[in-house]
Chains A and B, each alone.
Chain A
């Protein structure tokens, strides 16, 4: 089975559908951290993220016969994982969960958070990514977002799901996803620019021209 190392995802999926467990393991190797990461970012609990990851891959085994294209696999897994994560959030019955599904005035383009600290960054994103404390800083910034914004940002900008898939995964309309994504991006821009922006090159935030 040494040739499996160079098999494409499509070939691995084909083999897995016939019952080849080794091919299945290779197929899901890179997908496990994505599913677990999504669950961790949505739930902030190792125990719950493990539950979601296990449920998701068990569901994959149950439905593996229905996959014909490997390209849809990651999207399907992330949507299933989101569904399991939402069930846990509902069980927790937190106040923030009610704000998750409720559509409020913040789900419109009125009163968008206006950029406050505007400055070019002192380093590029790849340079910052090399810093040791990088991951902790990012996760802390994500933590600062309300669940309803964080979930949209994680699915759309970290996992690169389309607006439609993000909306389907979260049970929201595409327009609500777009507004929440914009607010999430603006809030994280503010936070990240305060960390990485050059104060000496900061620009006026109260500018406004036609």
Chain B
């Protein structure tokens, strides 16, 4: 496997796809190619960074408006008693 071929197979390797043949070739290449090792590590860190990023907070005014809309829709579907039981 060349560096170029490694680049093309990178997704499957990073995503842990069970492609033993590719993984074996991939691991063999990495063992002898420090720059490719660092690129793979960089990609894993990049994905982790974005995945663990802070979620977006809903603007407070929108949160209130959304609550009102959903409540109205809920009453339309399930009846008023579903929101205000006796």
Residues of A within 8 A of B (CB): 19-21, 24-25, 32-34, 36-37, 40, 46, 50, 53-54, 57-58, 61-62, 109, 112, 114-115, 118-121, 124-126, 128-129, 134-135, 138, 142, 153, 157-158, 160, 178, 181-182, 185-186, 188-189, 192-193, 196-197, 203-205, 207-210
A182: B residues at CB distance < 8 A: 7-8, 10-11
A124: B residues at CB distance < 8 A: 45
> Contact residue range for chain B?
35 or more
A109: B residues at CB distance < 8 A: 8
Q: Are A158 and B7 in contact (CB under 8 A)?
A: no
- The answer, among B48, B51, B55, B79, for a CB contact under 8 Å with A33, is B55
A75 CB → nearest B CB, Å: 16
Q: Are A36 and B42 in contact (CB under 8 A)?
A: no
Q: Are B56 and A54 in contact (CB under 8 A)?
A: no
From known contacts A33-B56, A34-B55, A205-B35, infer whether A121 and B77 are also in contact, taking CB-CB under 8 Å. no
B39: A residues at CB distance < 8 A: 115, 118, 189
Q: Are A210 and B82 in contact (CB under 8 A)?
A: no
A32: B residues at CB distance < 8 A: 58, 63, 66
Q: Is residue B57 contacting chain A, with contact meaning CB distance below 8 A?
A: yes
Tell me, in angstroms, the Cα distance from A129 to B55 when the chains sit together: 12
A33: B residues at CB distance < 8 A: 55-58
Tell me, in angstroms, the Cα distance from A20 to B79 when the chains sit together: 11
B78: A residues at CB distance < 8 A: 19, 21
Interface residues of B in 27-86 (CB under 8 A from A): 32-35, 38-39, 41-43, 45-59, 62-63, 66-67, 69-71, 73-74, 77-79, 82-83
Q: Are B55 and A138 in contact (CB under 8 A)?
A: no
B10: A residues at CB distance < 8 A: 182, 185
From known contacts A32-B58, A138-B53, A203-B38, infer whether A185 and B47 are also in contact, taking CB-CB under 8 Å. yes
B55: A residues at CB distance < 8 A: 33-34, 37
Point out which of B8, B10, B34, B74 has the most chain A C-beta atoms below 10 A from its C-beta: B74
Q: Are A207 and B3 in contact (CB under 8 A)?
A: yes
Q: In the complex, what residue of chain A is closest to B39 when comparing beta carbons?
A: A115
Q: Is residue B20 contacting chain A, with contact meaning CB distance below 8 A?
A: no
Q: Are A53 and B11 in contact (CB under 8 A)?
A: no
Q: In the complex, what residue of chain A is closest to B54 when comparing beta carbons?
A: A135
Q: Is residue B18 contacting chain A, with contact meaning CB distance below 8 A?
A: no
Tell me, in angstroms, the Cα distance from A7 to B50 when the chains sit together: 30
Q: Are B73 and A61 in contact (CB under 8 A)?
A: yes
Q: Are B58 and A36 in contact (CB under 8 A)?
A: yes
B63: A residues at CB distance < 8 A: 32
Interface residues of B in 1-35 (CB under 8 A from A): 2-4, 7-8, 10-11, 14, 32-35
B54: A residues at CB distance < 8 A: 134-135
